[in-house]
Amino acid sequence: MAYEFAKLFSKVVTHTFFRDIEVIGQENIPKDGPILLYGNHNNQFIDPLLIISNMTRKINFIAAAKSMRKPIIGDIGKALGGIPVERPQDLAKIGSGILKKYDGTYLFAENSQFTKQCQIHDSILIQGIDTIILIVEIISDTKIKVQCEDPSQLHVKDNKYKIQPKVDQSMMFEQVWLALKQGKCIGIFPEGGSHDNTTLLPLKPGICIMALGASQKYQTKVKLQPVGLNYFKGHKFRSKVIVEFGVPYEISQQLIDTYAINKRQAISKLLLEIEQQLKSVTIQAPSYSHLSAVIIGRSLYLPDRTRLSPQDLLQLTKRFLQAFYKLKEHPEVNQVLTEIKLYNYKLKALGVRDWEVMRMQKRIYLDLQIIGFNIFMTILCLLFAFPGYIMTIPITIILNMYAEKERKSALAGSKVKISGKDVVASFKVLASIIIVPISVFIYTVLFYLWLTVYKIVDEELTFRYTIIFLLMWPIYITAMIRSNDGLIRHARKVNSQILFYLYENKYRKLKIQREELQNKIRRLVDAFGEEVIQDFNQNRIVQKSQLVSPKSVAELDIQNVFESLQELGI
């Protein structure tokens, strides 16, 4: 019962926060039997909620014990059947004194207390040094023998440090193995922690120990299933996400047998397979600028009147990224990428969007009709949503301040985060769980006092109206959010029509540049398609006959590129 309630909560949260959730491959989820489901981790507490709300069976996630001990987060995690695991980095403590010297074998310190604070097999963490430093012998309070993965990186001179204890995970693995033996579904994020990179972090071997250990100990046929969480401005309210459930697969008996005699070799092979499968369901790019260029390139490639399914659109994006990785040294490909980035820069400099360039045509009478209609709809949406805007201003300010504080804290304590945006959505949601009910209570009390003080109605009706207000306020807020989506959409259309008349000549130049770029991209796809995709011409997502430039501007359809650039917030 607690799980079903928590799953319903997950659905409400995710569908409120995201404007658009596309789910692909739900039919791939096995209806029974042990599954080890794994995904990328780009949106801290939102990731498991998205998977749980779209799973057709119960799933128990491996969760950081540190998070499970927190109020609200821990309560939700327990209701969802989370399995806590202690992460060594969460238990790291600041060491006394400072590190003075490393001679290739021994680490020397000043005013340290190694004999009291350290144990053999603990690790030393030094800010700015990524190599693993393992304690193999404690000589004295100021001297320890260490084993370093890459000694060339270990340059010590008056460094502060942390001591990270070795954690025994045997009980956790036993719990997971037993759950898999019972045919349960276990979820895990093998990157270890959330991040906002555009590529996967190095995967942790724990997932391999779970899968191979259960297979060996209980002769259980564990199925591994990747799930890709592809966010587009995922830290922003009312953004978009595509959830893709990949095809499940079993571990070969040969690999299970190898694990019995050579665990390191078996884990390395399986970890590589897991990484490749995870890449197949996620969008991977070297940087955000490359991702932006690739998505714009994909949009330019598409015929203006073509409507692709979410699955085909995601697959096309992956193909463009795959082409970039394979052809990144090719001068013509690099030239087109540079031109796409320059085109994008010009769009931003003008304050316009690609879809505005596409629809460029002077039709004064029709444009006035379009502007008039969209102004009317903008005002209508604003009138409906305005009371909600005023009443939610305090909530919005508090949520933004809290999320920003957590973002800075997470960024300061992480080596892998770029800007810490992976925690923003999660902490906005978590804070709103407390703040929103409090605000509903406060506004209900204020409404009651307003009715009472000014004697708007008699006492009996005052109580009745107060109850109605209490029930209707959350419903109105939900409707206001939907109305706000419409407000933004219609306001953008008004803005685009007006900007065209203000910058008509620049629009026309951009239009010419856009058409040239579109033709170049399509020629490159035809020239290199077979090098990137096997049997490319037989497996085209968009047929060559569809790639015909429109005969006139009037035939342009703005929707494809408009939606794609909305994904990036461009």
Q: What is the pLDDT of residue 263?
A: 93
Whether 556 is in a domain gets the answer no
AA identity, residue 43: N
Q: What is the pLDDT of residue 108?
A: 93
CATH number at residue 207: 3.40.1130.10
Same domain? For 53 and 198 the reply is yes
Angle at 357 between CA 353 and CA 361, to 5 degrees: 140
**How far is it, in rounded angstroms, from Cα 549 to Cα 534?**
26
Q: What is the pLDDT of residue 556?
A: 35
State which of 141, 164, 187 marks the end of a domain.
164
User: Which tokens sit at 54?
Assistant: 């779209």
The count of C-alpha atoms lying within 13 angstroms of the C-alpha of 298, restricted to the half-sphere facing its C-beta, is 28
Environment class of 57 (CB within 10 Å of its CB; exposed 0-12, middle 13-18, buried 19+): exposed
**CB 148, CB 154: distance < 8 Å:** yes
**How far is it, in rounded angstroms, from Cα 317 to Cα 192?**
26
pTM of the model as a whole: 0.80
Same domain? For 72 and 174 the reply is yes
Expressed as residue numbers, the domain containing 234 is 1-86+169-281
Whether 508 is in a domain gets the answer no
Q: What is the pLDDT of residue 391?
A: 84
Whether 558 is in a domain gets the answer no
Cα-Cα-Cα-Cα dihedral of 443, 447, 449, 450, to 10°?
130
State which of 101, 134, 164 marks the end of a domain.
164
Q: What is the pLDDT of residue 549?
A: 52
Whether 464 is in a domain gets the answer yes
Whether 555 is in a domain gets the answer no
Same domain? For 145 and 194 the reply is no
Q: What is the pLDDT of residue 565?
A: 40
Same domain? For 374 and 474 the reply is yes
What is the tally of structural domains in the chain?
A: 4
Q: Could you list the pLDDT tens digit for every one of the 570 residues in the chain?
A: 678 888 888 888 888 888 889 899 999 999 999 999 999 998 888 999 999 999 989 999 998 888 888 877 788 788 888 888 888 888 889 999 999 999 889 999 999 999 999 999 999 988 778 788 999 999 999 999 999 878 877 888 888 999 999 988 888 999 999 999 999 999 999 998 888 888 898 999 999 999 999 999 998 889 999 999 998 877 788 888 989 999 999 999 999 999 999 999 999 999 999 999 999 899 888 877 888 888 888 888 888 766 788 888 888 888 888 888 888 888 998 899 889 888 888 887 776 777 667 666 778 888 888 889 999 999 999 999 898 888 888 888 888 888 888 888 888 777 777 788 888 888 888 778 888 888 889 999 999 999 998 888 888 899 999 999 999 988 888 888 888 888 988 888 888 788 778 878 888 888 888 889 989 999 999 888 888 888 888 888 888 777 765 443 333 333 444 444 444 343
Same domain? For 135 and 191 the reply is no
Q: What is the pLDDT of residue 557?
A: 39
**How far is it, in rounded angstroms, from Cα 118 to Cα 237?**
45
CATH number at residue 115: 2.40.10
AA identity, residue 446: L
Same domain? For 329 and 407 the reply is no
Q: What is the pLDDT of residue 179?
A: 94
Same domain? For 336 and 402 the reply is no
State which of 262, 281, 300 marks the end of a domain.
281
Same domain? For 386 and 489 the reply is yes
Whether 43 is in a domain gets the answer yes
Whether 332 is in a domain gets the answer yes
Whether 38 is in a domain gets the answer yes
From first CA to last CA, the distance across the chain in angstroms is: 43
Same domain? For 297 and 338 the reply is yes
Same domain? For 401 and 488 the reply is yes
Same domain? For 133 and 200 the reply is no
Same domain? For 66 and 203 the reply is yes
Q: Where do runs of H (alpha helix) occur along 222-361? A: 253-261, 263-280, 288-301, 310-327, 331-350, 354-358
User: Which tokens sit at 282?
Assistant: 């996620």
φ, ψ (nearest 5 deg) of residue 442: -60, -45
**CB 240, CB 47: distance < 8 Å:** no
